[in-house]
Amino acid sequence: MAKGLIIVESPAKASTISKFLKNKFNVKASMGHIRDLPAHDLGVDVENNFAPSYVTDKKKSKIISELREAAKNSDAIYLASDHDREGEAIAWHLSKLLEKELGDKPLYRIVFNEITSKAINSAISEPGQIDMSKVDAQQARRILDRVVGYSISPLLWKVIAKDLSAGRVQSVALRLICEREAEIKAFVPKEFWRIEADFWRDDLPKFKASLEKYNGKKLEIKNDEEATKLTTELQKQTAVLSEIKRRTRNVDPPAPFITSTLQQEASKIMSFQAQRTMKIAQQLYEGIDIGGESTGLITYMRTDSTRTSSEANETAKQLIGERFGADYINSSTRMYKNKQSAQDAHEAIRPTDPFRTPESLSPYLSREQLKLYTLIWQRFIATQMKAVKVLGTTARITVGEAEFAASGNQISFDGFLKCYNHVNIPLGEKIHKDYVKSDELMHDALRKTQHFTTPPSRFTEASLIKELEAKGIGRPSTYAAIIGTIRNRKYAVMEKKSFVATPLGMDVNGFLVGKFDSLFNVKFTAQMEDKLDEVEYGKVVWHKLVKEYYDDMKELIDKVDVKKEKEAMIQETGIKCELCGKGEMVVKRGRSGEFLSCNRYPECKNSKSFKRDAEGKIEIVVPKVLDEKCPKCGNPLVERNGKYGAFIACSNYPKCKYSRPKTLGIACPECGTGEVTARRSKKGSPFYSCNRYPECKWISNYKPVPQACPNCANPYMEERYNKDKGTFMQCPKCKHVME
C-alpha cells in the first residue's frame, strides 16, 4: 500500500519526524536546496523580467533520484521544509523538480514551529499550499544579490584585487565597521576631572559620593588647577545630607529569545560566533537522540517574534512552582510586544517541553549543545517568573556651594534572577537605611582624579548584530552569513573579540561608498528589506523591485572609470627602489595581501613584504639573514614569508631563485628522515608536512611535538587549540589529552 511522502531538509529532522509518525509515512530529506542559480554564470535573464535559470545540484543527483522514486511510489506528497522564505523556496523547487512524478497526486505544504509529535500530526491534519508570495520574496533577494555580485564584484577585481565580493547587505555591514574605525581614529580625547569623598555619620557605614553641581549648575572640571582649587575650598566646609530618596522598583525579565538576541547573548556570555550558535541551535531543533528516540528540544531558531504559546507558558509556570516555589510564579501570564517590523511567522525560541531541564538532558548533549540549551531554557522559564524587586536609594550632600551625589541599589527579592542571572542590575553604593535628610555628615579628604573621554567602542559580534537589527538591515536568517562573509573575505579581523577593519576592507568600503553610496547605505538597504517584506505580503511585484534596483546600479556602474580608480588606489610610500634606483616603491595588493612593488613594473620587478605599525605607517620587513650559504651561488640565505608560509631563499633573488621550505627542527613522524615544515593552503589555512614531499606524503593539520604520550608511549603528541580549553596536547594515536 502506497504511503504519503514527507520531504524535509535534513536527515536528522527526517529521522525525528519518522519516529513520531510510527512509519505511517515515508520521510525523506532534500539536504536543503536541490536547485539554485548556476555557480559560474549570472543565470538571470535581465531583458526578460529577470527570469532565473535554475539548475539542479549535481552533487545531489543520488538524493534527487531517491526523491523521484519515492514520489513515484507515494499517494500524496507533503513538503515540510522550514517555515521561512528560504524553506518556502525549497518547497517550490521540489514541486518543480517532481512535476512528472507528481502527476495528479495531491501536493501539500505543511509547516510547524517545533518538532514534536503533536505539532507534526497537527500540521499533517491541516495541510496548506505553497505560498508563492514568500517564494517571490526569496527569489527577489537571491536575484538582487546575484546581479549585485556579478555586476560590481568584477569592478573590485579590476580596481583592487582578485576574488573580492560586493554583497548587497554585507557591504553595508562592512561600512558600519569602517565608519566606526574612522570615528575611533579621528577621536581626540578630552581631559576631565572628578572629585569624590567618603561620607558618614556616627558609626554608620561610609558611602562614596561624587561632586556634580556647583552654585546650582552642572559642573565640568577641565584641569588639575580647577580641581585643586575646588578641593581646597570644599575640604573644610560642613557636609549636610540635603536629600535622600528611597523607592522600590520592579525589573521585569527580558523577552524570550529571537534569532538576533540569541546570537547576541551567546556571543557575550559564551563567546560563540553567530554561525556556531545557529549550527548548534539547528541541531537542538532538528532532534537529539534522547534514550534511543530522536527529540526536537527547541522551537524554530530563525524568528523575529517574541510570541509564545499559552500551553508552553502554563507549563513553564507549573515548573516554576515545583522548582522554585509558588512565590516565584508571576501572577499573570507575561506577554511581550513584537517590534513593528517583526514578521511573526513563528514563536520565539523556547524549549519544546519546559520539563526537559538542562540537568536531565546533560547525559545526551555535547558541551556546546548543553550550554546553548541551558541559555534558551533559562531565558524562557524566566519570562513567567516574578520581577526582581530593587530598592533604590539616591542621596544628595551639600558641601558649601557644592552638591555631591550618590546612588545605590539593593535587591530585596531576586525573582527571575533565581533562574536567569544574565541581567545586569548595577548595585552602586550601599547607603544604610538609618541615614535621614538633614543629617550632618563627616567626610574624609576630597579626592581628585584625572580622566579622559574615550572613543566609541569597536563592534563585537553581539553589538554588530544589534546595530544591524536596530537599523533594519538583514533579517534573522541573514545575520550569521553577513558576519561570516566579512570575516572569510578578510575585510575585518577580530582583535580582543572586536571587529577591526583591515586595509583591504577599508579599500573595498572606500571604493563602494565612493561610487555606489546611494545603494550601499543604511537607509536604502533598510528600505529594500521593507520592500522585500512587501513582496512577501503580495503588495509588490518582485521583478519590478529588482528592475528598479538594477537600473540604478547600472547607471552608477557606467560612470566608473576603472583606470582612474585603479591609479587612485595605488599608495605611494616615498621609498626609493634600491634595485633600479629610478623608481619608487608603492603599495599593491595581490592574492596574498599587500606588498611593495616598484612603480616601474614590469621594467623593474622589485617587490618585497612590509608591515604597518599601530598608526598605519609602512615598515619594510627585512628578511632574517641565516648563517648558511646558498648551495647554488654562495650568497647568504634569508628567511622569507610567502603565501604558503615561511621559506628559505637566496638573498641574491631574483638573479638566484634557490628556495626551500622552512623546517621546524622536528623529525617527520612518518619517515623519520625528513623534517616537519609549516605550510599554508591556497585558502590560507595552516598545515604541516614533511620537507621530503612527495617522497614522504605525511601531512597534518596539527603541529607535532616530540613528547611521548604518557598513555600509549607514542613518541609524538599534537599541539591543539580549543576556545574552551586553550592550548593542549593530544595523542594522534590514542587521543589522550594533556592540558
- How far apart (Å, rounded) are the C-alpha atoms in residues 288 and 284? 6
Inter-residue contact 165 to 173 (CB < 8 Å): no
Catalytic residue among 78, 108, 285, 300: 300
Tell me the three state secondary structure of residue 730.
Answer: strand
Nearest to 221 by CA among 456, 452, 454, 455: 452
- The per-residue b/e assignment along 20-42, b for 16 or more CB within 10 angstroms, e otherwise, is bbeeebbbbbbebbbbbbeeeeb
Inter-residue contact 424 to 432 (CB < 8 Å): no
Secondary structure letter of residue 329 according to DSSP = B
How is 681-728 classified by DSSP, letter by letter?
A: -TTS-EEEEETTTTTS--EESSEEE----TTT--S-EEEEEETTTEEE
Number of other residues whose CB lies within 10 A of the CB of residue 729 = 18
Inter-residue contact 32 to 59 (CB < 8 Å): no
- How far apart (Å, rounded) are the C-alpha atoms in residues 362 and 512? 49
* Inter-CA distances, 46 with 40, 53, 142, 517, 545, Å: 16, 11, 14, 23, 13
Per the annotation, the verdict on 328 as an active-site residue is no
C-alpha cell of 339? 517590534
Residues 6+ positions from 363 with CB-CB distance below 8 Å? none
Inter-residue contact 607 to 595 (CB < 8 Å): yes
Nearest to 294 by CA among 124, 116, 120: 116
Inter-residue contact 153 to 167 (CB < 8 Å): no
Residues 6+ positions from 333 with CB-CB distance below 8 Å? 310, 313, 314, 317, 384
Angle value at C-alpha 403, between 400 and 408, nearest 5 degrees: 140
- How far apart (Å, rounded) are the C-alpha atoms in residues 531 and 534? 5
Nearest to 586 by CA among 562, 565, 603, 610: 610
Residues in the chain: 739
- How far apart (Å, rounded) are the C-alpha atoms in residues 390 and 408? 10
Inter-residue contact 268 to 476 (CB < 8 Å): no
- How far apart (Å, rounded) are the C-alpha atoms in residues 609 and 619? 9
C-alpha cell of 447? 579626592
Q: At what angle do helices 132-159 and 85-97 cross, to 10 degrees?
A: 100
SS3 content of the chain, % helix, strand, coil (to 5): 35, 25, 40
- How far apart (Å, rounded) are the C-alpha atoms in residues 473 and 530? 10
The amino acid sitting at 404 is F
Residues 6+ positions from 694 with CB-CB distance below 8 Å? none
Catalytic residues: 300
